[in-house]
Amino acid sequence: MLKGKTAFVTGGSGAVGAAVVRVMAGHGAQVAFSYHNQETKALALQEELCARGYKVRAYPLDVLNGSEAQQLAATIEQDLGPVDILINNAGLTQVMPFALIEEDDWDLIMNVNVKGMFLVTKAFVRPMIRRQHGAIVNLGSLAGMRVLEVPVHYATAKSAVMGFTLALAREMARYQIRVNAVVPGLLTDGVSVHVPDKQRVDYEQHCTLGRAGTPEEVAELVAFLASDRAAYINAQAIQVDGGI
């Protein structure tokens, strides 16, 4: 499905990011991915997949450093070739009530989840524009689309992912670059591990499938949207939530 493609995934050392890296490599892509504070996990993932015959490389990146992102885009193109696919997965959450959220907390969550996505996309989309080809998939969250008991600053940031996706998709269409979002619900791993047991039970009771999803299930949709099989899918936010 992705043979001959080169993909870049931000936050590839986390649960969902690692699943995306594994699935995309399994579908034939060369995959570069970034990590920030989890070098050991990132290098272990690289070693695991390279040992299986896949071409995967891990790179350190602070998504809030625009010049670093631009340099990494050039480095990956030298190492693996032009990047066809960008997966904006890097994200962060904090579990706290609104009354306890301080200005620094707000800025941290908005910066990592929104500004980081902007800076990385800006760095990687320019070569796509020159080549008139590409696909971008942004990772959102059901927290930004439903009335749920979730941290307000995280929900706000993930709502911004939707606006970013829609506006960017419209602008990039003239360059044959598709932009979509994948919107996971409750998962068995990743940021969902911070969800209190009471809320987890409530979610599963209201979910038509009666369970949490897996990072691998999210990753399969990401890979599909990034592929040419999804050539007529653009400006969509597709939920992977088990039916809420």
Asked if 58 and 44 count as a contact pair (C-beta separation under 8 A), the reply is no
Neighbours of 60 (CB within 10 A): 12
Active site residues: 154
Q: Residue 82 contacts by C-beta under 8 Å, 6 or more apart in sequence?
A: 6, 127, 131
Per-residue pLDDT reduced to its tens digit, 203-221:
999 999 999 999 999 999 9
**What are the boundaries of each domain within the chain?**
6-239
What number of residues does the chain have? Answer: 244
The three-point CA angle 130-166-239 to 5° equals 120
Phi, psi (deg, nearest 5) at residue 158: -70, -25
> Would you state the pLDDT for residue 195?
79
> Would you state the pLDDT for residue 242?
96
> Would you state the pLDDT for residue 149?
83
Per-residue pLDDT reduced to its tens digit, 44-101:
999 999 999 999 999 999 999 999 999 999 999 999 999 999 999 999 999 999 999 9
> Would you state the pLDDT for residue 70?
98
Beta bridge partners of 88: 138
Phi, psi (deg, nearest 5) at residue 146: -135, 160
DSSP state of 13: T
Per-residue pLDDT reduced to its tens digit, 114-168:
999 999 999 999 999 999 999 999 999 998 988 788 899 999 999 999 999 999 9
pTM exceeding the 0.85 threshold for the entire prediction: yes
For the domain spanning 6-239, the CATH number is 3.40.50.720
What mean pLDDT is predicted for residues 198-206? 90
> Would you state the pLDDT for residue 193?
78
Q: Record the tokens describing residue 202, joined without a space.
A: 């409530």
Burial of 125 (0-12, 13-18, 19+ CB in 10 A): buried
DSSP string covering 55-113 = -EEEEE--TT-HHHHHHHHHHHHHHH----EEEE---------GGG--HHHHHHHHIII
Tell me the residue ranges of DSSP E strands in the chain.
Answer: 6-9, 30-35, 56-60, 85-88, 134-139, 177-184, 237-240
DSSP state of 232: T
